A and B are shown apart, each in its own frame.
Chain A
Amino acid sequence: MNRRSEKTLEEQLRLREKILGLGETSFRKSYYPELRVRLLELERFRFILDQISVGIIIIDPKTDTIVDLNQETCHLLKKQQKELRNMQLRGNPDNSVAWYARVQESDEGMVIIDNLPSDNGEPMALEITMHHAIFGGEEYRIAIIRDITRQRSAERTLIRTKDMFESVIRISSIQHAPEDDILSAALREAAALTQSSDAYCAILSPDESFFSISSSFDEIPAMERLSRADKNGPWERVIREGIPIIGENPEGMYLPISEGERVVAVISLKGKERPYDEFDLRVATYLGESLWQILLRRRAEEKLRELNEQLEERVFERTHELATLNNELEAFTYSVSHDLRAPLRSINGFSLAIQEDYGDELSGEAVEYLGRIRSASERMGTLIDDLLLLSRISRAELRRQEFSLSDLAHEVINEIQEQEPREHATVTIEEGIVVSADRGLMRSVLWNLLSNAWKFTSRKDSPEISFYSQKDGEKTTYIISDNGDGFDMAYEKKLFLPFSRLHTTDEFPGTGIGLATTARIIQKHHGEIHAEGKIGVGATFYFTLGTKEVTEYE
Chain B
Amino acid sequence: MGGAGTQAYRHLLIIGMYAPGTIPFSHNCFQFPAIHRDAGIGEVEVMTGDTLRKFVMPEVIFGEGARRQAVHYLDNLGVAHVLIVTDPGVIRAGWASEIVSAAESEGISATIFSQVSENPRTTEVDAGTGMYRDNGCDGILAIGGGSPMDCAKGIAILSTNGGIIQHYEGVDQIRHMGPPLICIPTTAGSSADVSQFAIITEEEKARKFGIISKTIIPDVSLVDPDLLSTLPERFIAYCGFDALTHAIEAYVSTGSSSLTDLHSLEAIRMITAALPIAYRERDNREAARLMMLGSLHAGLAFSNASLGLIHAMAHPISGLYDLPHGEANSLLLPAVIRYNYPFAQERYDTIGEILGLSSADRNPFGADAIISRLKELAGEVGITGTLGDRGVLMKDIPVLSDNAVLDGCIVTNPHLPTGEEVRQLYESAL
Instruction: Give the complex CA separation of A395 and B333 in angstroms.
Output: 150
Q: Which of A21, A27, A34: most chain B CB closer than 10 A? A: A21
Contact B418 A21 (CB under 8 A): no
Instruction: Give the complex CA separation of A229 and B40 in angstroms.
Output: 100
Stretch at the interface among A12-20, A76-84, A169-177: A12-20
Instruction: Give the complex CA separation of A6 and B304 in angstroms.
Output: 26
Which A23-48 residues have C-beta < 8 A from chain B? 23-31, 34
Count how many chain A residues have C-beta atoms less than 8 Å from C-beta atoms of the other chain: 26
Contact A19 B214 (CB under 8 A): no
A4 within 8 A of B: yes
Which B330-351 residues have C-beta < 8 A from chain A? none
Count how many chain B residues have C-beta atoms less than 8 Å from C-beta atoms of the other chain: 38
B376 within 8 A of A: no
Cross-chain contact of A15 among B43, B411, B419, B420 (Cβ < 8 A): B411
Residues of chain A with a CB closer than 8 A to B91's CB? none
Minimum Cβ distance to chain B for residue A303 (Å): 88
Contact B216 A16 (CB under 8 A): no
Q: Which of B171, B306, B419: most chain A CB closer than 10 A? A: B171
Residues of chain A with a CB closer than 8 A to B418's CB? 1-4
B52 within 8 A of A: yes
Contact A1 B416 (CB under 8 A): yes
Contacts A15-B408, A18-B171 given; indicate if A28 touches B215 (C-beta within 8 A). Answer: yes
Instruction: Give the complex CA separation of A15 and B312 in angstroms.
Output: 14
Cross-chain contact of B416 among A4, A20, A21 (Cβ < 8 A): A4
A9 within 8 A of B: yes
Contact A25 B172 (CB under 8 A): yes
Contacts A1-B418, A26-B214 given; indicate if A19 touches B411 (C-beta within 8 A). Answer: yes
Cross-chain contact of A16 among B54, B217, B304, B411 (Cβ < 8 A): B411
Q: Which of A4, A16, A26: most chain B CB closer than 10 A? A: A16
What does the 1/0 interface line of B219-255 toward A look like (CB < 8 Å)? 1000000000000000000000000000000000011
Which B39-82 residues have C-beta < 8 A from chain A? 40, 42-43, 52-54, 56
Residues of chain B with a CB closer than 8 A to A27's CB? 214-215
Instruction: Give the complex CA separation of A382 and B336 in angstroms.
Output: 164
Contacts A1-B21, A16-B255, A29-B215 given; indicate if A22 touches B408 (C-beta within 8 A). Answer: no
Minimum Cβ distance to chain A for residue B80 (Å): 9
Among residues of B, the one whose C-beta sits closest to the C-beta of A11 is B411
Minimum Cβ distance to chain B for residue A444 (Å): 114
Contact A19 B24 (CB under 8 A): no
Contact A3 B306 (CB under 8 A): no
Contact B416 A19 (CB under 8 A): no
Residues of chain A with a CB closer than 8 A to B196's CB? 21
Instruction: Give the complex CA separation of A326 and B106 in angstroms.
Output: 125
Contacts A16-B411, A25-B172 given; indicate if A31 touches B177 (C-beta within 8 A). Answer: yes
Which A503-536 residues have C-beta < 8 A from chain B? none
Cross-chain contact of A30 among B54, B177, B216, B408 (Cβ < 8 A): B177
Residues of chain B with a CB closer than 8 A to A21's CB? 54, 56, 196, 214, 304
B305 within 8 A of A: yes
Contact B172 A23 (CB under 8 A): yes
Which A49-68 residues have C-beta < 8 A from chain B? none
Instruction: Give the complex CA separation of A30 and B214 in angstroms.
Output: 10
Contact A13 B16 (CB under 8 A): yes
Instruction: Give the complex CA separation of A414 and B416 in angstroms.
Output: 149
What does the 1/0 interface line of B158-195 toward A look like (CB < 8 Å)? 00000000000001100011100000000000000000
Contact A29 B214 (CB under 8 A): yes
Among residues of A, the one whose C-beta sits closest to the C-beta of B42 is A28
Contact A16 B21 (CB under 8 A): no
B20 within 8 A of A: yes
Instruction: Give the complex CA separation of A26 and B175 in angstroms.
Output: 10
Contact B412 A16 (CB under 8 A): yes
B15 within 8 A of A: yes
Residues of chain A with a CB closer than 8 A to B178's CB? 29
Cross-chain contact of A26 among B21, B42, B54, B255 (Cβ < 8 A): B54
Minimum Cβ distance to chain B for residue A22 (Å): 5
Which B405-430 residues have C-beta < 8 A from chain A? 408, 410-412, 416, 418-420
Minimum Cβ distance to chain B for residue A28 (Å): 5
Contact B171 A15 (CB under 8 A): yes
Q: Which of A6, A20, A25: most chain B CB closer than 10 A? A: A20
Contacts A28-B56, A29-B214, A29-B215 given; indicate if A23 touches B171 (C-beta within 8 A). Answer: yes
Residues of chain A with a CB closer than 8 A to B15's CB? 13, 16
B212 within 8 A of A: yes
Residues of chain A with a CB closer than 8 A to B56's CB? 21, 28
Contact A19 B255 (CB under 8 A): yes
Contact B24 A9 (CB under 8 A): yes
Residues of chain B with a CB closer than 8 A to A13's CB? 15-16, 411
Residues of chain A with a CB closer than 8 A to B217's CB? 28-29
Interface, chain B (partner A; CB < 8 A): 15-16, 20-21, 24, 40, 42-43, 52-54, 56, 171-172, 176-178, 196, 212-217, 219, 254-255, 304-306, 408, 410-412, 416, 418-420
Task: State the 5 A-B residue pairs at the shortest beta-carbon distance, nearest first.
Answer: A21-B54, A16-B411, A18-B171, A3-B418, A20-B255
A sample of 8 inter-chain contacts (CB < 8 A) reads A3-B419, A4-B418, A12-B411, A23-B172, A28-B42, A28-B43, A28-B215, A31-B177
In the complex, besides A19-B212, A20-B304, 11 extra interface pairs with C-beta distance below 8 angstroms are A6-B21, A15-B171, A15-B408, A15-B411, A19-B411, A20-B412, A26-B54, A27-B215, A28-B214, A29-B177, A34-B177
Interface, chain A (partner B; CB < 8 A): 1-4, 6, 9-10, 12-13, 15-16, 18-31, 34
